[in-house]
Amino acid sequence: ETGVTQTPRHLVMGMTNKKSLKCEQHLGHNAMYWYKQSAKKPLELMFVYSLEERVENNSVPSRFSPECPNSSHLFLHLHTLQPEDSALYLCASSPRVFGTDTQYFGPGTRLTVL
Amino acid sequence: SQKIEQNSEALNIQEGKTATLTCNYTNYSPAYLQWYRQDPGRGPVFLLLIRENEKEKRKERLKVTFDTTLKQSLFHITASQPADSATYLCALANAGNMLTFGGGTRLMVKP
């Protein structure tokens, strides 16, 4: 285990539902990330938090709303999603938001939007 | 714009051979390059980091090279085993910046 947990592991939701993805890291890291991974596409960085402050928001639609209440927890709130939002959503953490730092990934949440 | 290219086609090799995966980049001057392994349905796992002033890094059966002139990194697995079958991602960063990941190359090692 990497020290980063994600729940739920699988989620099926309708386009009108509201759901949340949860990520927790037990590594004492200061940076946390949300990535989207669609089939046959590179990892897409969605949001980055450093010490609970959002430092990156890569033009993500407003139907995705992140929340970082403390440095150990990260949420991704979902509402009125589209079928093309179906993907593997990965959470990661690192000591700092720097390229020298290794990122530790959780197992991901497989999201299916019907 | 910055671009990281990894061969999107799967690499198939025989057990015991050396697997060589390529990571090319353009419009980029990375200070650090990392390689990750990703198994199906799971998150990537860190393998190796190499800095721009390092030509080569080794860890057990793994070897990474970093050629800033060619703008290329090669990732080698010697004496490959079926358990090495996975997708391998390279990731680059400038000093002080975040990692950007390539699309990954799937490696299949056949017994």
With CB atoms and an 8 Å threshold, state whether B104 touches A102: no
CB proximity under 8 Å: B 39-98 to A: 41-46, 49, 89, 92-98
> Which two structure tokens, joined as six digits, stand for B43?
């998150």
Q: Which of A44, A45, A8 is nearest to A24 (CA)?
A: A8
- H or E segment at B18? none
With CB atoms and an 8 Å threshold, state whether B93 touches A98: yes
* CB-CB neighbors (< 8 A) of B96 in chain A: 98-99
Instruction: Say which range, A110-114, B28-32, B107-111, has the weakest mean pLDDT.
Output: B28-32
Q: How far is A80 from chain B (nearest CA, A)?
A: 25
Confidence of residue B95 (pLDDT cuts 50, 70, 90): low
Q: What percent of chain A has pLDDT over 90?
A: 75
The count of other CB atoms within 10 Å of the CB of residue B65 is: 17
With CB atoms and an 8 Å threshold, state whether B96 touches A98: yes
